[in-house]
């Protein structure tokens, strides 16, 4: 029977199926971070030890200060303790930690692929919703809750009450200049809605994803959760293998050859049937920005804020009204007329070296007119960017250049957007209060973020010369 890539990986990781249909899955890799303290506490309370240290990897990211990686720079004692607890648990349980002071530290979804921990065909989990990022390499990867984290720590397995359905999103054609992976995923979510992928694992297919870099695929898969999907995946191919080859935790030598041979068997069969199919034409995708409080509230930067009166139903109309009230915007207003107070370039969506190169290409020789900051996704990304002189480009353009961490993606580490302030952000969530109480978030690509910083308003990056 024809099978999807998702079917294949699910079956390969099934340990047993209970009479009620629940499936016990073997977990290939488990990523933990500074928010995983409760999982380790639960383990200790039951007198258990970590089941598989070699399959567990950790890094502090959510609570670390991006001004300094000294522990003392984390002002809030409980959060400082959570970062310390991760290091203590790593020492006690014997798993690999990329801690503060280690150049390999970074956002958990940046370091997994970077270190070759994320591999095609594995089941990967982490107590963070944006674990979907790792599906870019052909892994089945999803976020889990705190009690599931402790179950994985104790058993290296995970119960799933039901198998998600399979969905395929195909984007064919050629992307225009200045249109990036971030614009592609925002366009997809705007099309299918924040619940459009609910109950599904999305496979991204079509010429756009085949031609896309690994880092672009990560940006796309990262935001699958914003379409409500359990996970997002791209079939592994030569781009994937070239990206992984030689990375520290990827198979080496003969094991590499065997692994690649197995990975070539993963892609969905040509006649595999998906429960839902969606098609987009790449030629119709332009630089995007969000105007509301859900990632589905996205529009072309050349467009206008929608009129709730034109909404298809009362529920959507009310959602638009609420979103515009929070965002302080009016229906019909041009997207490019939205003034911006601050710019953030970072997060597990857009903090990799290609993101920083794309942003620097726009920032070069220009000047931000609002406060702006760049937060690399890992110490290795930061080092690479500095080797290429990108830090100097940003500093000359008036941007701050910070240490790696989740930073302003989430208002829990001191990097905050002030109440009422409007931030053009390369992160993944524009929910009410996500970047701080009363903060207003406009999701954009790295290049669009720089365009906003330079103009002090949302701006079409395609109208700026030398966009790289
Ligand atoms: S950058 Fe944001 S979305 Fe990504 S792991 Fe950190 S808090 Fe989560």
**389 and 352 share one domain:** yes
**365 and 402 share one domain:** yes
**258 and 374 share one domain:** no
370's torsion region: left (phi>0), alpha (psi -120 to 50) or beta? beta
The answer to whether 394 and 355 have CB atoms below 8 angstroms apart is no
Looking at residue 304, what DSSP letter applies? B
Residue 283 lies in a domain: no
**198 and 93 share one domain:** yes
Residue nearest to atom 2 of ligand 1 (CA): 409
Average pLDDT over every residue of 35-39: 96
32 CA distance to ligand 1 middle (Å): 13
**232 and 352 share one domain:** no
**CATH number of the domain bearing residue 38:** 3.30.499.10
CB neighbourhood size of 91 (10 A) = 11
**392 and 419 share one domain:** yes
273 CA distance to ligand 1 middle (Å): 33
Residue 282 lies in a domain: no
Residue 468: its pLDDT value, please?
45
Is pLDDT above 50 for 193? Answer: yes
Residue 311 lies in a domain: yes
Residue 437 lies in a domain: yes
Residue 362 lies in a domain: yes
Structure tokens at 418: 């002030």
Q: Residue 107: CB within 6 Å of ligand 1?
A: yes
Q: Residue 109: CB within 6 Å of ligand 1?
A: yes
- Ligand 1 atom with the smallest distance to the CA of 346 is 1
Average pLDDT over every residue of 75-88: 96
Q: Which of 244, 276, 308 is the last residue of a domain?
A: 276
Q: How many domains does the chain have?
A: 2
Q: Which of 247, 276, 305 is the last residue of a domain?
A: 276
**268 and 341 share one domain:** no
Residue 281 lies in a domain: no
pLDDT tens column, 108-148: 999 999 999 999 999 999 999 999 999 999 999 999 999 99
**138 and 188 share one domain:** yes
Q: Residue 192: CB within 6 Å of ligand 1?
A: no
**By 3-state DSSP, what share of the chain in percent is helix, strand and coil, each rounded to 5?**
40, 20, 45
pTM of the model: 0.98
Q: Closest Cα partner for 400 from 443, 352, 451, 342?
A: 342
Residue 284 lies in a domain: no
Residue 369 lies in a domain: yes
Average pLDDT over every residue of 370-394: 98
Q: Which of 242, 276, 310 is the last residue of a domain?
A: 276
**294 and 228 share one domain:** no
Q: Closest Cα partner for 53 from 92, 20, 85?
A: 92
Average pLDDT over every residue of 428-436: 98
Is pLDDT above 60 for 466? Answer: no
Domain around 402: 289-463
Q: Residue 130: CB within 6 Å of ligand 1?
A: yes
Q: Residue 348: CB within 6 Å of ligand 1?
A: yes
**270 and 333 share one domain:** no
Report in angstroms the alpha-carbon separations of 156 from 54, 92, 125, 326, 462: 11, 17, 10, 43, 48
- Ligand 1 atom with the smallest distance to the CA of 409 is 2
Residue 375: Cβ-neighbour burial (10 angstroms; 0-12, 13-18, 19+): buried
Residue nearest to atom 6 of ligand 1 (CA): 406
**233 and 297 share one domain:** no
pLDDT tens column, 218-248: 999 999 999 999 999 999 999 999 999 999 9
Q: Residue 111: CB within 6 Å of ligand 1?
A: no
**247 and 337 share one domain:** no
Give the length of the chain: 468
Q: Residue 34: CB within 6 Å of ligand 1?
A: no
Quick one: pLDDT band at residue 200, thresholds 50, 70, 90? Answer: very high
């Amino acid at each position: 029977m024809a099978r999807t890539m998702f079917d294949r990986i699910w079956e390969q990781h099934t340990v047993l199926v209970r009479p009620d249909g629940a499936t016990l899955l073997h977990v290939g890799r488990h990523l933990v971070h500074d928010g995983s303290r409760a999982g380790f506490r639960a383990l200790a309370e039951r007198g258990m030890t970590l089941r598989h240290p070699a399959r567990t990897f950790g890094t502090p990211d959510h609570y670390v200060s991006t001004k300094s990686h000294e522990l003392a720079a984390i002002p809030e004692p409980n959060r400082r303790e959570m970062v310390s607890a991760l290091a203590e648990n790593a020492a006690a349980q014997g798993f690999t930690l990329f801690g503060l002071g280690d150049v390999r530290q970074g956002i958990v979804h940046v370091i997994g692929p970077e270190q070759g921990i994320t591999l095609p065909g594995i089941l990967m989990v982490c107590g963070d919703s944006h674990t979907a990022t790792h599906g870019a390499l052909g892994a089945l990867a999803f976020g889990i809750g705190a009690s599931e984290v402790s179950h994985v720590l104790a058993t290296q397995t995970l119960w799933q009450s039901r198998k998600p359905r399979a969905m395929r999103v195909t984007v064919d054609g050629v992307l225009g200049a200045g249109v990036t992976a971030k614009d592609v995923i925002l366009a997809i979510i705007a099309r299918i809605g924040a619940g459009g992928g609910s109950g599904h694992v999305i496979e991204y297919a079509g010429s756009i994803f085949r031609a896309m870099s690994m880092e672009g695929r990560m940006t796309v898969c990262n935001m699958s959760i914003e379409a409500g999907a359990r996970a997002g995946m791209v079939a592994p191919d030569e781009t994937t293998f070239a990206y992984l080859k030689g990375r520290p935790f990827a198979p080496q030598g003969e094991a590499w050859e065997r692994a690649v041979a197995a990975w070539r068997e993963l892609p969905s069969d040509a006649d595999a049937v998906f429960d839902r199919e969606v098609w987009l034409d790449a030629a119709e995708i332009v630089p995007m920005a969000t105007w509301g409080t859900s990632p589905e509230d996205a529009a072309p930067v050349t467009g206008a804020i929608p009129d709730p009166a034109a909404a298809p139903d009362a529920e959507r109309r009310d959602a638009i009204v609420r979103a515009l009230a929070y965002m302080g915007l009016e229906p019909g207003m041009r997207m490019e007329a939205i003034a911006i107070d601050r710019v953030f370039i970072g997060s597990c969506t857009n903090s990799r070296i290609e993101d920083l190169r794309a942003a620097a290409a726009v920032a070069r020789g220009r000047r931000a007119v609002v406060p702006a900051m760049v937060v690399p996704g890992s110490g290795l990304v930061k080092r690479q960017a500095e080797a290429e002189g990108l830090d100097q480009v940003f500093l000359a353009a008036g941007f701050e250049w910070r240490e790696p961490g989740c930073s302003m993606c989430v208002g829990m580490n001191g990097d905050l957007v002030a109440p009422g302030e409007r931030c053009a952000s390369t992160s993944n969530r524009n929910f009410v209060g996500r970047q701080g109480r009363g903060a207003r978030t406009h999701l954009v690509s790295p290049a669009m973020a720089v365009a906003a910083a330079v103009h002090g308003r949302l701006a079409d990056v395609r109208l700026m010369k030398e966009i790289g």
